[in-house]
Chain A
């Protein structure tokens, strides 16, 4: 059995090591003050994908990331760990995207580059936005099942025809995964294709591999080249001609036939109205049970404080 796996990954500012200049006066993230890193939970997602590749030789793992030229670093980092390659989804028209526009772009790109995808695996959420929305929205847009908060992919197997029919897609593969839920672990199965989002508590990603680093260290996306230059102008230019894997795939809105109205700022209904610093003042916590009475009380309290409503 061979699988086609796409890992959704994002380059994020390292919000775990914030300094005093981490925020702009406008309340947005000051990206230049923070090192750009591979979103941590996307690394957990990559590990789950690479384990399947280890288990099923011939399986391909490709990374799809949206961002500026430097975001190709995420693709390289994944290749150093065993991914086959990836695509940098990049276009000025993608800029300013909220989760809706991001998931539109990713889903559109997946349909374009990998219509036969079996598994789409991403981290639960990115540390710069913490929404956990992109994975589920991609699943919705592609009309696929989703398993969120995955701890471990237990098994991918070929299944009997009965189950295969039930999957609408007519493809006879199934994934079994454990997901973290309040107070326990749930084991879920789904026909493929399917979208998984993986928790940070899942197995950590393997380190970079020495041979793969030496093999892929020169891999570049076109946007990473100096303006007005091409691969032919780089040191070791002949290598780019001989080794196709050194040219990282790059996709624009036009490449994937994206509807510009649904991309970037234009496609993003989310608007940041205001950003406030929160200082926790309460010293005591309140314990609520699941009773109707307690829930009602909480709703009333939140309505009264205009937290909701």
Chain B
């Protein structure tokens, strides 16, 4: 009877051990104003935390007892397309039904629309937990968070129409990508035209690579301004499957996340509603949608890393060679320790990011109801910037770690890992997409690098270096400080060179160094509070981080305006 939540003490630690949590709950619950109106609303902070724990226990239970046992069959069967509709793998329906009857949809939505009013941090934990069993299923289920964008930018009528349906378990999709508009969404060409006669918008054209593209409610990016070619001509629309007009032409045959249908969609005069204002589709709404989705992928990556760790250590304890369990061999033990260290470090970054997102989102929501006080406005600005800076770091670093961890997990299994009989092969394939979709790691770097060069991360790092640490770990402060100094020196050198191309070439290296330093600091704080959980990971991770900083330091030093040519093949 595995429980994917209560079995993992580190997740509980991340939820409970942050000074930000009480502020998050206070904002999210508006001083507990729902407590007399809704039977399920918390009375106070402790009550809210207890409810979060209990809800996640349900997620962990369903994940352990329904989703995990189904994962292999879902992966093998996959969805299929028939008559323009997607049919999920049979056990995907079982998974969805379990989540629906547990009421685990619309988790972050306010209670007045039928939601659970949970913080993003708690929802992030749910994402991580579900992904650990089946990352493909997690995609379908977690697309529920598209509703955040509709909630933020849709009108009240749209909120009342759609949010209760999502809370009741209807699925969503975000229809962005097109054959010629992948990373470059400004090139989206799906046509939206206003139908005067019927007083509605119509969509015509096609989309591809749409995850869960046959969902009940779609958010669609389309060109509403005829004759435009850039991002300012794009608007966001809501398409309701009940209205018809969108068919699935085919679904992709993918390397991994087999349970998740990736669709090519055809829009034939499909009726839709404008969401928010015209022309803000890409520049405002999709950016919001993407930030939510990126946090989701960071959580998915951490879930995969957790499974990589579980599978690797279980196999290494069980498998005997040369008369002993292979975990006894340092070469194997190191791989497993590295997985654990990256897992713990990445998870710390994930939840720190989620907390930042929570505070700014809750304040932003309050600002829709009343004018914020000056100190609240300052708080909103601070956390909104932190969320913007940390989201691409959490997504990029964790997705790369998930790939490394799943690779090492197979390595621990040796020849058996290459056979299709252990879970490690599935997570290895599933992990591969995490560093690609919702923006490749290269694009996460683009999103994050401005916060390297404008000193934002440097400031966060400086503050974190001041935080008190347990006496036994004091030595780490100096080591991390040295890493930070190298990062600052590299940043200064790149800025000084004043060469845009060199800047872009070095960006990834500065980005990784930033990740190394911030995660080292987060783990240092975790180990200070809970050495029994994090002392080993702290030591292993800082060793890795120092080596990685040194590597990137060398690369940045060797990359000069003159040597750029060497990085360009004819």
Binding site for B on A (CB under 8 A): 206-215, 217, 236, 239, 243
Contacts and interface: CB of A to CB of B under 8 A. Distances in A.
B116 interface: yes
Nearest to B102: A207
A104 B186 CA distance: 75
B54 interface: yes
Contact of A217 (B51, B103, B104, B107): B51
A209 B107 CA distance: 12
Interface stretch (B39-47, B271-279, B283-291, B428-436): B39-47
Contacts of A214: 39-42, 51, 54-55
Interface of B: 39-43, 47, 50-51, 54-55, 58, 61-62, 66, 98, 101-104, 107, 116
Contact of A236 (B40, B43, B103): B43
A207 B61 contact: yes
Contacts of A236: 43, 47
Nearest to B46: A235
Given A207-B62, A209-B101, A217 B54 contact: yes
Contacts of A239: 43
B211 to A, nearest CB: 25
Contacts of A243: 39
Contacts of A211: 39-40, 103, 116
A209 B50 contact: no
B40 A215 contact: yes
A236 B43 CA distance: 8
Nearest to A82: B101
Nearest to A213: B54
A215 B55 CA distance: 11
B102 A210 contact: yes
A213 B58 contact: yes
24 contacts: A207-B58, A207-B62, A207-B66, A207-B102, A208-B58, A208-B61, A209-B58, A209-B101, A210-B40, A210-B55, A210-B103, A211-B40, A211-B103, A211-B116, A212-B103, A213-B54, A213-B55, A214-B40, A214-B41, A215-B39, A215-B40, A217-B54, A239-B43, A243-B39
Contacts of B41: 214
Contacts of A217: 50-51, 54
A196 B116 CA distance: 36
A85 to B, nearest CB: 13
Contacts of A208: 58, 61, 102
Contacts of B102: 206-210
A239 B38 CA distance: 12
Nearest to B35: A239
Nearest to B115: A211
A243 B40 CA distance: 12
A213 B116 CA distance: 12
A112 to B, nearest CB: 28
A209 B99 CA distance: 9
A211 B117 CA distance: 11
Nearest to A207: B102
B67 to A, nearest CB: 11
B101 A206 contact: yes
A210 B42 CA distance: 13
Given A217-B54, A236-B43, 18 more contacts: A206-B101, A206-B102, A207-B61, A207-B101, A207-B102, A209-B102, A209-B103, A210-B103, A210-B116, A211-B116, A213-B51, A213-B54, A213-B58, A214-B39, A214-B42, A214-B51, A215-B40, A243-B39
Contacts of A213: 51, 54-55, 58
Contacts of A212: 40, 103
Contacts of A210: 40, 55, 58, 102-104, 107, 116
A211 B58 CA distance: 11
A211 B51 CA distance: 9
Nearest to A81: B101
B152 to A, nearest CB: 23
A213 B66 CA distance: 19
Contacts of B103: 209-212
